[in-house]
Chain A
């Protein structure tokens, strides 16, 4: 999970328990990444141009990361037990290939759904050998460009 132009890139990761995540810092400024989430509390000052050890996420759950210097930076790391996981593209589509034909329970998470942090699973259903599954989630926020104004604390 990189930091570019004072944003987490990507700002959402889905990883399996036990995965290691690198937090490089591509900005010239210091970022001080932290989490107070139960699944993985940590803090990591990321000085520009220095190597930092990756963080191991060994508990399932949602980890919300922030930057102590740039209040507006928020990233989400969803730590799941299943080896089958993915992130939808801008059309809202995620594709899983070569899955064994069996029953799956599908969970959906989106940082902007406004769910409490514990409610990671959402709109779950059970499918069998289906090739396509459509899950509609209520969009709570419309997209805003955020280009026009500056929002950081100045």
Chain B
């Protein structure tokens, strides 16, 4: 349904594009490339344990980002935006990150009403304020906002009302509400990869890899129970074809019955006292899948003083049915709250702070437990200062996942901290040079499964050139 919607929308938008393509069409583009040092671990994008976009195999010249954005006005009140993201680390180098139609009637009694339909992300990030949802203050975004770009995109409709400044209001206020489809696997990456500060944006159809349990499981279980052979297919996660399938009352994986054909669900009868469903823990996420045909929603409230202070609160609930899976991906019920704040401090120093906390779980209830059940939270503080053509930014962040299911063979807990120091210089109106140091330090329990220390520090130095117009 999601893919169909994009296609239809794209055709509609392109149709309008050609019909009125003269002065009412604007094209924006960006490309950022540069050098990176090698990460300590292999990047999750290569199936490793590394949290950074560029891992141990990625030293040298890299494409850091790129987009093409076409905006078109249909008269004064209607407008469309299509954004195409370029990322040579993903399976599809090119994909849509935005395809939407906006309706913007004139204010009524000092209130602005707006509507937005299509493919977009919830308005959480205060860091991605450059064109094309590019980062403005640093090269890599905070872990919190990176997740917004990785897992929260969806197809939806958003309605909003806000004050009209020209009507003389001293305060800015606004409310947004949206319903959306096509992001039931939200939470997959937070649980099985964890938080990651990066600038990767996922697009419909993308499959984002992370460390594969087929490499993980035998290591731990061969130590704990030498006679036990854990097959990838028998990892103990629910599977199905869109139907609800009950779990037996069991709190861990039992003796697996090796199935005839790896990769296929076991057709035989399950043993009593075991999970009656055997399945693959996927080693990749497909964030835009619709699995249960239930829409999710978010509501957000804004309050601020124009150009001085801005506060945004959001409640998000994808309302997914955690007992359904399709196409090797599970629906994860993911609910979170988010707070964002920005203000201008003395001496022209900008301050941004964001905090997010929530829960995600998957799998039918077994006793009181789900197959995977995590609490997550992330927060950061960013200071930024412009001096002429130079921008200096520093960010401190904290992010954690608490694993609340009792399934020790799949430890998803983590607790990490990060520093980012960034310097940018706008050399010409079109060219920007940036240098950045990024460090992430802390524990991720799953590292032990591949023979790494739980605790570890990853850091990277980046030097990039960004061209934009």
A88–B311 Cα distance when bound, in Å, is: 34
**Contact partner, B344, options A29, A35, A146, A154, Cβ 8 Å:** A146
Chain A 70-114 per-residue mask, 1 if CB under 8 angstroms from chain B, else 0:
011010000000000000000000000000000000000000001
B168–chain A nearest beta-carbon distance, Å: 5
Give chain B interface residues in 321-353, CB to chain A under 8 Å: 342, 344, 348-350, 352
Cβ of A45 within 8 Å of any chain B Cβ, yes or no, is: yes
A49–B23 Cα distance when bound, in Å, is: 7
Q: A47-B23, A154-B128 are in contact. Are A68 and B106 (CB under 8 A)?
A: yes
Q: A32-B76, A146-B344, A148-B344 are in contact. Are A43 and B106 (CB under 8 A)?
A: yes
A-B contact pairs, 19 of them (CB 8 A): A29-B71, A36-B107, A36-B164, A48-B23, A48-B24, A66-B107, A66-B164, A68-B106, A116-B168, A144-B307, A145-B386, A146-B307, A147-B348, A148-B349, A148-B350, A148-B384, A150-B129, A150-B130, A153-B162
Chain A 34-53 per-residue mask, 1 if CB under 8 angstroms from chain B, else 0:
11100000010101111000
Q: A36-B167, A148-B350 are in contact. Are A68 and B307 (CB under 8 A)?
A: no
Q: In this complex, what residue of B is CB-closest to A65?
A: B166
A74–B167 Cα distance when bound, in Å, is: 10
Cβ–Cβ contact A149 & B104, under 8 A: no
Q: In this complex, what residue of A is CB-closest to B382?
A: A149
A-B residue pairs, 10 tightest by C-beta: A66-B166, A148-B350, A45-B76, A150-B129, A149-B350, A145-B348, A147-B386, A49-B23, A154-B129, A30-B73
Cβ–Cβ contact A117 & B76, under 8 A: no
Task: Enumerate chain A residues within 8 angstroms of B129, measured Cβ to Cβ.
Answer: 149-150, 152, 154
A75–B208 Cα distance when bound, in Å, is: 47
Cβ of B207 within 8 Å of any chain A Cβ, yes or no, is: no
A65–chain B nearest beta-carbon distance, Å: 6
B411–chain A nearest beta-carbon distance, Å: 37
Seen from chain B, the residues whose Cβ lies within 8 Å of a Cβ on chain A are 23-24, 26, 71, 73, 75-77, 79, 104, 106-107, 110, 112, 123, 128-130, 136, 162, 164-168, 170, 174, 306-308, 310, 342, 344, 348-350, 352, 384-386
A32–B105 Cα distance when bound, in Å, is: 10
Q: A48-B23, A146-B344 are in contact. Are A71 and B168 (CB under 8 A)?
A: no
A29–B27 Cα distance when bound, in Å, is: 10
Cβ–Cβ contact A30 & B166, under 8 A: no
A117–B169 Cα distance when bound, in Å, is: 11
Q: In this complex, what residue of A is CB-closest to B383?
A: A148
A66–B107 Cα distance when bound, in Å, is: 10
Cβ–Cβ contact B386 & A71, under 8 A: no
**Contact partner, B23, options A50, A74, A114, Cβ 8 Å:** A50
Task: Enumerate chain B residues within 8 angstroms of A151, measured Cβ to Cβ.
Answer: 306-307, 310
Cβ–Cβ contact A34 & B75, under 8 A: no
Give chain A interface residues in 17-64, CB to chain B under 8 Å: 28-30, 32, 34-36, 43, 45, 47-50, 64
Cβ of A69 within 8 Å of any chain B Cβ, yes or no, is: yes
Cβ–Cβ contact A71 & B310, under 8 A: no
Cβ–Cβ contact A29 & B26, under 8 A: yes
Task: Enumerate chain A residues within 8 angstroms of B174, measured Cβ to Cβ.
Answer: 153
Task: Please tell me the size bucket of the interface on A.
Answer: 35 or more
Supplied contacts A36-B166, A68-B104, A148-B350, 11 more A-B pairs, CB within 8 Å: A32-B106, A34-B106, A34-B166, A43-B106, A68-B112, A71-B112, A72-B307, A148-B344, A148-B348, A149-B350, A154-B128
A147–B345 Cα distance when bound, in Å, is: 11
Q: A36-B166, A36-B167, A68-B76 are in contact. Are A144 and B107 (CB under 8 A)?
A: no
A153–chain B nearest beta-carbon distance, Å: 8
**Contact partner, A117, options B162, B168, B344, Cβ 8 Å:** B168
A74–B136 Cα distance when bound, in Å, is: 24
A141–B211 Cα distance when bound, in Å, is: 53
Task: Enumerate chain A residues within 8 angstroms of B349, measured Cβ to Cβ.
Answer: 148
Cβ–Cβ contact B128 & A64, under 8 A: no
Task: Enumerate chain A residues within 8 angstroms of B130, measured Cβ to Cβ.
Answer: 150
Q: In this complex, what residue of A is CB-closest to B350?
A: A148
A76–B106 Cα distance when bound, in Å, is: 18
Q: In this complex, what residue of A is CB-closest to B170?
A: A114
Q: In this complex, what residue of A is CB-closest to B24?
A: A47
**Contact partner, A45, options B75, B136, B162, B348, Cβ 8 Å:** B75
A28–B306 Cα distance when bound, in Å, is: 24
Q: In this complex, what residue of A is CB-closest to B342?
A: A149
Task: Enumerate chain B residues within 8 angstroms of A116, measured Cβ to Cβ.
Answer: 168
Cβ–Cβ contact B167 & A64, under 8 A: yes
Chain A 130-143 per-residue mask, 1 if CB under 8 angstroms from chain B, else 0:
00000000000000
A129–B26 Cα distance when bound, in Å, is: 56
Cβ–Cβ contact B136 & A150, under 8 A: yes
A103–B26 Cα distance when bound, in Å, is: 55
Task: Enumerate chain B residues within 8 angstroms of A32, measured Cβ to Cβ.
Answer: 76-77, 104, 106
Which interface residue of A34, A74, A146, A153 has the most chain B CB atoms within 10 A?
A153
Task: Enumerate chain A residues within 8 angstroms of B112, measured Cβ to Cβ.
Answer: 68, 71
A42–B106 Cα distance when bound, in Å, is: 11
Q: In this complex, what residue of B is CB-closest to A32?
A: B76
Task: Enumerate chain B residues within 8 angstroms of A144, measured Cβ to Cβ.
Answer: 307-308, 344, 348
A45–B23 Cα distance when bound, in Å, is: 13
